[in-house]
Amino acid sequence: MLSIALSELIQLFRNRLVLVTSLIMPAAVSAFFLYRHEIFADLYGLGYIAAVVVFTVGAFGLYTTTVTTLASRRQNLFLKRLRSTAADDTSVLSGLLLPVTVMTLVQVAVILGVLGAVSGKPAQVLLLVAAVLSIVIMMLGLGLATAGLTNSPEHAQVTTLPVSLGTIAVASWVGISGSEDLTVLKRLLPGGSATELVVNAWDGGTAVSDSLVLLVPTLSWVLVAVGLASRLFRWEPRR
């Protein structure tokens, strides 16, 4: 698995499109929010900034790159060749997705660390860590499911738009309007409960036991995504 991950890491830094979507674009959006953090904090709170940043990195950095990578490796038959080696399916997928996952976690840690340094630490750090990890797992699952519907890296630019833009839109909606109205709907949408969890973890004011319940909808989406991936994912080019 580690040899596959190292090879994939080298490929990531050679691909300009992947670098833009996984590093430059999320970094630019995050830099904007950090630069204007006082304005957004006064309007919506620091938790809103943290949630939008995490989902921006998760959507464009992790999710989109996951779909593009798997579609590309399938198209050039690299997936098929890897499957013929001694590595099992789980090791192959883990090796391919490990670099972008680590990059995402590092990005989020650095950005939230800077936000905490310039504006104040989150109220519940461990709860924030749980929220970030749940978002990363959900976006990985959704990426695997979407890769099953994606024929090529170029096609990924279309197939990834609904989920990437949708989750960011949900995060913005919940972060700005709160969850007092349309609570059930907001929590059931992908990213809704996770956004609320990030806001609670950063801004405080909510019991940990009440916030942990918010992990359930996100983990449910993980199960849905994994179920879809098991049915839709293909190791050879789609025809």
- At residue 14, does pLDDT exceed 80? no
Residue 212: predicted pLDDT: 81
Q: At CA 120, angle to CA 114 and CA 126, rounded to 5?
A: 85
Answer for the pair 57, 198: CB distance below 8 angstroms, yes or no.
no
Tens of pLDDT, residue by residue over 86-138, are 777 888 888 889 988 998 999 899 889 888 888 878 888 999 999 999 999 99
Note the pLDDT of residue 108.
92
pLDDT grade, residue 239 (50/70/90)? Answer: low
Q: What is the pLDDT of residue 137?
A: 93
112 and 195 Cβ atoms separated by less than 8 Å: no
pLDDT of residue 203: 85
For position 206, what pLDDT does the model report?
74
For the chain, the structural domain boundaries read 2-232
Phi/psi at 84 (5° precision): -85, -5
For residues 191 and 215, give the distance between their C-alpha atoms in angstroms, rounded to a whole number: 10
Question: What pTM, to 2 d.p., does this model score?
Answer: 0.90
